[in-house]
């Protein structure tokens, strides 16, 4: 919100002597950081950031009040002459609790325009003056005192005025020229023809003040914050008035702002007051709040004198009664945010300055908790993978339905995982698989000239369920491109599916992983983290003795069918071999060539034996013969 320095100094004369930088620092320390200062209209305007709870600060007077409290300096008095209230000229009926008080007046306008200094004040705030005194005066009051008011063309109002709930379907053309269809939750000002304003938000076109207006009916009311907020949101109509009523205006300002408006119109254009009156009365203030000494001490972190606290709260406008164990505090009518004792404690600390809060480490009250096994699992996995050459990615949790459909399981329909209000179709489904995002990222890296791409992501994949998407903590890996060829010792080769299988086993996967081909030379693998060992599973196991006798290694070169699986062949051979002596059996070479019999391939199988004694050549020969026999039973033949 823009705050103009000259008017700020009119509200708080002490500001005139402070340099702008100092004012900005004071405001920041009070919780109103200044985002910028600009020079406009021969003055300086401060862009002050005001938090949503402080509707009372959304004006020059409000900001001045904060500074005055901090500096303990007096504000300029706020006392326009009270017009003598008389009998209503127009009947004003308050039919809803959301509008407890409505001050008004009827004036006959004379000639004369908005004073230049007011016009330049409005220009400095980027608010355009209309050169219609009734409109500009209302606008000036809003920015200066924070109380929104409105002027109707009194001659266009038909009969009595009421503040009531709109009837569903009733129409109102607001000042911006848009016809609004109202609901029964909208509070309106209406005459006998229908609504003439959306209460606290915007006036209506039919009764607006124009160049030709001769008589005005003023409105200076108090509208319930929640009702105004809801209406502004319902009609997407956020105005200076709705911002202020929506954050809570000062009901006591209703009458004062009406008087200020009358005073301005009288002075600016020789308006003549026809009559002034107020419908309704001020709402009953909330019960006082008790600030216990113990709570204040606890929040502040040190013992503060109750007298000092009382003095600060009084400077803020509170009525304070000092009692044995604390302060009984009645907040001023403009502070809707002071509700509980903690709110009052905050005010005391805020005005003393947060820099005075002591700094203490909180004492331990119980034993510290360990990190969870699943958290540690992810920490260790990510480090292991990074050391294996994989790059951790972070991609969006939502993807396009097409990408999702290509990877998600058939029993995981996207409907239960779809957003109702996505940024766009391509970000609309909570992904059933991490692979589409990794595939896209891998392809992009390869396009950007990467020789090899190794990526992993840890994150949830989503499964539709009747109660909503279920998160399955998952690991996805992709690997593609060219391996090696980067030095004189390592030959180049394309990444193969088996490379990812090896990684899966390295990470502790015991079953065969389902490696997917994601296109030319690019492979992907996705695993629920539940399939991988938890960190705690890796605590040192029970000792098992190992042999220190020599190892005997034997190779068997076999011709096997192209359709033969290694897993089945190895299983058959293992059965034929002594389990306690066989240390390892593996295929160390695969040879496929047209020189071999058609439909056959050659496998080189290597066996390592070791026992708690020196093995004799004959017994190993016997085992190899048995292993060969087992292989032959599956159609393998010893390769000549």
Partner 1 sequence: MDQLLPGDIVEAGRLFPEALAACADLDALLRLKGAYVGREGSHAAHMMDLLKAAPKDQKRDLGAAINAFKQQWEEALKIRQAELESAKKARSAQAANWDPSLPPPRPAEGALHPLNRLMDRLVEVFRPLGFHVEEGPEVETEAHNFDGLNIPEDHPAKASSDTFYLAAHPELLLRTHTSPVQVRTLLRIAPELATRGGVRFLAPGRVYRKDEIDPTHSPMFHQVEGMLVGHGIGMQHLKGTLEYALRALFGPHTEIRLRPSYFPFVEPGCEVDVSCPLCDAKGCRVCKGSGWVEILGAGLIHPNVLSYAGIDPNEWSGWAFGMGVERMAMMLSQTPDLRLFFENDQRFLRAMGGLD
Would you say 81 or 419 has its CB closer to partner 1? 419
Would you say 54 or 156 has its CB closer to partner 1? 54
Q: Are 280 and 222 in contact (CB under 8 A)?
A: no
Q: Alpha-carbon distance 299 to 303, whole Å?
A: 10
| Minimal distance, residue 504 CB to partner 1, in Å | 16
Among 181, 372, 517, 633, binds partner 1 (CB under 8 A): 372
Residue 581 burial (CB count, 10 A): 19
| Minimal distance, residue 333 CB to partner 1, in Å | 20
Contacts of partner 1 in 477-516 (CB under 8 A): 486-490
Among 270, 321, 375, 402, binds partner 1 (CB under 8 A): 375
Residue 278 touches partner 1, criterion: CB under 8 A: no
Q: Alpha-carbon distance 161 to 33, whole Å?
A: 42
Residue 108 touches partner 1, criterion: CB under 8 A: no
| Minimal distance, residue 25 CB to partner 1, in Å | 10
Among 10, 43, 266, 395, binds partner 1 (CB under 8 A): 395
Q: Alpha-carbon distance 282 to 101, whole Å?
A: 6
3-state DSSP of 557-584? EEEEECCCCHHHHHHHHHHHCCCCCEEE
Among 169, 212, 368, 541, binds partner 1 (CB under 8 A): 368
Residue 393 touches partner 1, criterion: CB under 8 A: yes
Q: Alpha-carbon distance 620 to 140, whole Å?
A: 103
Residue 511 burial (CB count, 10 A): 9
From the list 204-212, 367-375, 530-538, 624-632, the region that binds partner 1 by CB under 8 A is 367-375
DSSP letters, 183-216, are -TT-EEEEETTEEEEETTTEEBSTT---TT--EE
Residue 528 touches partner 1, criterion: CB under 8 A: no
Would you say 91 or 302 has its CB closer to partner 1? 302
Would you say 220 or 445 has its CB closer to partner 1? 445
Would you say 299 or 527 has its CB closer to partner 1? 299
Residue 183 touches partner 1, criterion: CB under 8 A: no
The torsion of the CA quartet 496, 500, 503, 504, rounded to 10 degrees, works out to -150
Q: Alpha-carbon distance 279 to 298, whole Å?
A: 45
Give first-to-last CA distance, the chain, whole Å: 91
Contacts of partner 1 in 161-180 (CB under 8 A): none
From the list 87-95, 112-120, 352-360, 552-560, the region that binds partner 1 by CB under 8 A is 352-360
Contacts of partner 1 in 403-442 (CB under 8 A): 415-423, 427, 430, 441
* Nearest alpha carbon to residue 190 among 96, 88, 85: 96
| Minimal distance, residue 423 CB to partner 1, in Å | 6
| Minimal distance, residue 366 CB to partner 1, in Å | 2
Contacts of partner 1 in 15-34 (CB under 8 A): 28-31, 33
| Minimal distance, residue 97 CB to partner 1, in Å | 17
* Residue 254: partners with Cβ closer than 8 Å, 6 or more residues away: 101, 102, 103, 147, 220, 221, 222, 278, 282
| Phi then psi dihedrals of residue 405, to 5 deg | -60, -30
Would you say 81 or 386 has its CB closer to partner 1? 386
- What angle (nearest 5°) sits at the alpha carbon of residue 128, between those of residues 123 and 132? 115
CA 42 to the chain's CA centroid: 39
Among 54, 206, 243, 336, binds partner 1 (CB under 8 A): 54
Contacts of partner 1 in 286-325 (CB under 8 A): 297-302
């Amino acid at each position: 919100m823009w705050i103009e320095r000259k008017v700020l100094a009119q509200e708080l004369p002490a500001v005139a002597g402070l340099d702008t930088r100092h004012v900005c620092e004071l405001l920041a320390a009070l919780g109103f950081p200044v985002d910028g200062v600009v020079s406009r209209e021969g003055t300086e305007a401060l862009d002050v950031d005001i938090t949503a709870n402080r509707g009372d600060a959304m004006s020059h007077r409000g900001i001045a009040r904060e500074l005055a409290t901090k500096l303990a300096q007096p504000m300029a008095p706020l006392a326009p002459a009270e017009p003598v209230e008389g009998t209503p000229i127009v009947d004003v009926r308050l039919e809803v609790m959301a509008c407890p008080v409505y001050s008004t007046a009827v004036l006959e306008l004379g000639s004369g325009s908005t004073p230049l200094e007011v016009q330049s004040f409005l220009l400095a705030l980027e608010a355009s003056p209309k050169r219609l005194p009734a409109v500009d005066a209302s606008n000036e009051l809003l920015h200066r005192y924070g109380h929104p008011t409105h002027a109707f063309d009194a001659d266009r109002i038909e009969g009595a005025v009421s503040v009531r709930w709109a009837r569903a379907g009733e129409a109102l053309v607001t000042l911006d020229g848009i016809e609004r269809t109202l609901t029964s939750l909208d509070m309106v000002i209406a005459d006998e023809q229908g609504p003439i304003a959306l209460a606290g938000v915007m006036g209506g076109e039919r009764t607006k003040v124009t160049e030709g207006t001769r008589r005005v009916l003023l409105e200076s009311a108090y509208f319930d914050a929640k009702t105004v907020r809801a209406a502004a949101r319902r009609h997407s109509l956020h105005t200076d008035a709705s911002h202020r009523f929506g954050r809570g205006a000062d009901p006591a300002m209703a009458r004062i702002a009406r008087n200020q408006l009358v005073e301005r119109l009288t002075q600016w254009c020789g308006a003549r007051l026809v009559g002034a009156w107020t419908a309704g009365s001020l709402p009953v203030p909330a019960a006082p709040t008790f600030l216990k000494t113990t709570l204040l001490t606890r929040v502040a972190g040190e013992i503060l004198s109750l007298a000092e606290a009382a003095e600060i709260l009084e400077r803020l406008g509170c009525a304070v009664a000092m009692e044995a164990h604390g302060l009984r505090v009645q907040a001023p009518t403009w502070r809707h945010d002071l509700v509980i004792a903690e709110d009052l404690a905050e005010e005391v600390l805020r005005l003393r300055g947060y820099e005075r809060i002591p700094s203490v480490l909180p004492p331990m009250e119980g034993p510290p908790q360990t990190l969870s096994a699943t958290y540690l699992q992810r920490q260790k996995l990510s480090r292991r993978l990074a050391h294996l050459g994989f790059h951790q990615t972070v991609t969006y949790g939502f993807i396009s339905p097409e990408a999702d459909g290509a990877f998600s399981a058939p029993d995981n329909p996207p409907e239960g995982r779809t957003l109702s209000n996505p940024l766009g179709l391509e970000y609309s489904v909570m992904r059933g698989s991490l692979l589409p995002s990794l595939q896209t990222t891998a392809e992009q890296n390869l396009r950007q000239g990467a020789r090899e791409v190794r990526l992993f992501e840890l994150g949830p994949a989503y499964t539709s369920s009747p109660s909503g998407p279920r998160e399955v903590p998952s690991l996805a890996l992709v690997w593609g491109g060219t391996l090696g060829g980067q030095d004189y010792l390592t030959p180049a080769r394309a990444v193969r599916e088996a490379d990812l299988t090896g990684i899966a086993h390295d990470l502790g996967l015991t079953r065969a992983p389902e490696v997917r081909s994601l296109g030319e030379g690019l492979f992907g693998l996705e695993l629920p983290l539940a399939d991988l060992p938890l960190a705690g599973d890796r605590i040192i196991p029970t000792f098992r003795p190992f042999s220190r006798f020599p190892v005997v290694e034997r190779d068997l070169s076999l011709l096997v069918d192209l359709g033969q699986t290694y897993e089945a062949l190895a299983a058959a051979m293992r059965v034929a071999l002594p389990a306690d002596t066989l240390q390892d059996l593996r295929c160390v070479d695969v040879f496929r060539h047209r020189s071999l019999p058609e439909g056959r391939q050659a496998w080189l199988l290597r066996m390592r034996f070791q026992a708690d004694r020196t093995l004799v050549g004959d017994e190993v020969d016997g085992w190899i013969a048995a292993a060969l026999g087992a292989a032959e039973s599956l159609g393998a033949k010893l390769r000549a």
